Structure 1
């Protein structure tokens, strides 16, 4: 027993002497890249990703508006087509009436007479006053009818021309709105491309910083390894004793109980279904496994348990019971923005799954409640 105690005492003394002889263990090697700098770069990346998600949401809304405008244009084109048919028919009727009137005048002229002279001769050839009055009434009616007919036909022709012009003006307005929307969407995409470039630069900067920090850490570890060469045996023994203590402690520590989750089967189905589509590319307006946008992904996944969510994230934000982002449970929807411009599904363990933005794919990401505006519990 005394020998064993002496052995441990000598070992402890040697270990203490060696630790005192290597003070560099207590102070890290000074580096040119710090964790704070890396965290700052990660913050910039998060800001750029947020901007991209907002721009993606604007593009999706613009696409929806564009579809509505296209439907209106198609409807207007149909009306123009129908109006042109009516206009052509009316013009044919007008030409026909003009032709009849022209033939009547031509017939009178072929006899070498003017219509007024002919009507006068017809009146003068009356045998009595009664016949004169009858002929005068008939001729007056014919002349009045001809005048009214020509006047009506001319007015109808002008009305048709005005109607056709009005239809074309309305169509031109719709086309102008469509062009303005296309210009706006192009500007959004240009802004998004610029942010994506900044995001790529920030990612490259982060990678360089991480590589440099890793190199610095490797150099520090190499220096520590050289300084610890002489005490490796004692340190190994100490680690073994510590590991043994940890193992014993873990065996004696009861395992944590998993809390019961409401609608556990539905939650499991939602999470399992969502994970099936990891790696599916982000596509504007995408609602199928060939490509998803953020709200298209969540609505598709929730349909696996028979729940139909609204199409866009800002409407999904109003479904179910709104809760704090810090109180989420697996299966809850989590949102950024008010109204929301991005949505994902919390899957537990401090993680959520989502379709981030263009150029990315469906993936699992760390969940930070402070980065989200609200959450919604659809399953109760």
Structure 2
């Protein structure tokens, strides 16, 4: 009877301990759920980088439009100056033409006579034709000159009008570009909010998973402690009055077998250097320069140490070792020699997207340095080949 009672007590205590340490979560967090949240975060970060790239491209286009507007306005000013010159020349020639007519029509102190009178006053047929030819040539010459000046003035006025139309179109393009950029920034704000929410969910999931693991460890420890206490209780309750028989010593285990002699490794084969391998000195200099800007904030269109975007950072760092890169990540993607993502060397450019919307510099050891996105700073991150599309080797 006592024996059954003790067994009942032990079983009840184990069940009670198990109930106390068992996690109370109705839906335990799985690794699949955590991986799905991480994938969602990666998607949001990718979208943000794409939008950052769109904004940087819009800023670059806006800069080009500004340059065109300034250039066109310069042409307008030059054309306006030419119009003034043409108008002045036209007025001057009109005065000269008028004076010439007067000089032909005037005859001493007599009153002005007409061309017909001048011709009819000729003394002979020969004199008539001479006067007629002279007057005709004179009139024709001045008429052509005046017509030419009029045409030039009209052409300049039309050119000025066309330049104004072009400037107005460029300004309209700027307005549309600014509106597009504002929409991009608005879309980005929503994605950033979604990203923050997803990051919060991930933190909650990780915290819950950690709590579940701790609860499970505590449960297993409690069960083990209870299991160790059960034999001792039963032995104390059921101990026989007669002395126990001495146990036979266990047979010693056989000695371990003598390990086989190790085979000395063969001499290692020297590494084969690829024809386009990066010079370690060049790579070290490039990476050292890049690391100087760790912590510099991301700035749209930034290309100086006061603020970088992704391609502004890579172009600035490469320029420090004497290599000029295009301004945008999509243009940088077409520079140098393409290399497989599993054969990267320090100093290689790594790109996301085709055409690229993001670029960084591989620094070796499975890491790369880059200017990630707005709200972030230049940093070193883990290089995950699956997140990248291409790589280019520019250093030699």
Structure-2-length-normalised TM-score: 0.68
Structure 1: runs of 5+ lacking an equivalent: 1-17, 232-256
Match of 2:46 among 30, 50, 66: 50
Structure index of larger Rg = 2
* Counterpart residue number, 1:185: 181
Deviation at 1:182, TM superposition (A): 3.2
Q: Deviations over 1:13-38 (max 9, x none)?
A: xxxxx999976899866464614333
Structure-1-length-normalised TM-score: 0.70
- Structure 1 136/270 Cα, relative in aligned 2: closer, same or farther at 3 Å? closer
Q: Deviations over 1:88-117 (max 9, x none)?
A: 1001111223344456778979x997x7x5
Structure 2: runs of 5+ lacking an equivalent: 1-12, 227-267
> Residues of 2 paired with 1:287 and 1:345: CA distance?
15
Contact 1:336/1:374 (CA < 8 Å) preserved in 2?
yes
* Counterpart residue number, 2:327: 311
Which segment drifts farther, 128-137 or 65-74?
128-137
SS, match of residue 340 in structure 1: coil
Match of 1:334 among 325, 329, 350: 350
Match of 1:367 among 383, 390, 395: 383
CA root-mean-square deviation: 4.2
Deviation at 1:290, TM superposition (A): 1.5
Match of 1:276 among 271, 288, 292: 292
> Residues of 1 paired with 2:363 and 2:22: CA distance?
40
Deviation at 1:57, TM superposition (A): 1.9
Match of 1:60 among 52, 56, 60: 56
* Counterpart residue number, 2:308: 292
> Residues of 2 paired with 1:345 and 1:302: CA distance?
10
Q: Deviations over 1:46-71 (max 9, x none)?
A: 10110111122222233333333332
Q: Does 1:84 align with 2:80?
A: yes
Contact 1:325/1:370 (CA < 8 Å) preserved in 2?
no
Q: Does 1:354 align with 2:370?
A: yes
> Residues of 2 paired with 1:289 and 1:91: CA distance?
53
Question: Which of the pair has the greater relative contact order for Cα pairs under 8 Å at 6+ separation?
Answer: 2
Deviation at 1:43, TM superposition (A): 1.3
* Counterpart residue number, 1:97: 93
> Residues of 2 paired with 1:39 and 1:137: CA distance?
100
Deviation at 1:263, TM superposition (A): 4.3
Q: Deviations over 1:209-240 (max 9, x none)?
A: 4445455556x279559948979xxxxxxxxx
* Counterpart residue number, 2:192: 196
Which segment drifts farther, 357-366 or 347-356?
347-356
- Structure 1 84/377 Cα, relative in aligned 2: closer, same or farther at 3 Å? closer
Deviation at 1:289, TM superposition (A): 1.9
Q: Deviations over 1:291-346 (max 9, x none)?
A: 12112223333455554444333343344543333443444432211222212233
Contact 1:33/1:209 (CA < 8 Å) preserved in 2?
no
* Counterpart residue number, 2:171: 175
Contact 1:334/1:376 (CA < 8 Å) preserved in 2?
yes
Answer 1 or 2: which has greater helix percent: 1
* Counterpart residue number, 1:8: none
Q: How does 1:17-56 map to 2 (within 5 A)?
A: 30=25, 32=27, 34=29, 35-56=31-52
* Counterpart residue number, 2:161: 165
SS, match of residue 357 in structure 2: strand
SS, match of residue 162 in structure 1: helix
- Structure 1 371/144 Cα, relative in aligned 2: closer, same or farther at 3 Å? closer
> Residues of 1 paired with 2:365 and 2:17: CA distance?
41
* Counterpart residue number, 2:4: none
